[in-house]
Amino acid sequence: MVHELVSEDFPRIRVGIGKPIDEYDAIDYVIGQLKEETYEKLKEGIDKAADAIEEFLKNGIDSAMNKFN
């Protein structure tokens, strides 16, 4: 989207995925098979991101940033 808009001047919600442990290649970390415990953390992160989006839509970016950062 940034490329298409030729700008980074718009509100957005970013969701991080952490960093790979040294033994893993970054590509495998991002697209590889998830362990069950990692999958549970991912589900929690998705729920939190959904809540942040809802807050952003209802009350604006500042409110969402204050609540979720």
Tokens of 48: 């939190």
Domain-embedded: residue 2:
no
Strands (E), 1-69: none
CA distance 56 to 39: 25
Asked if pLDDT for residue 6 goes beyond 90, the answer is no
Domain-embedded: residue 5:
no
Asked if pLDDT for residue 43 goes beyond 80, the answer is yes
Number of independent structural domains in the chain:
1
Domain-embedded: residue 4:
no
pLDDT digits (tens, 9 = 90+) for 44-54: 889 999 999 99
Domain with 25, as residue range(s), is 12-68
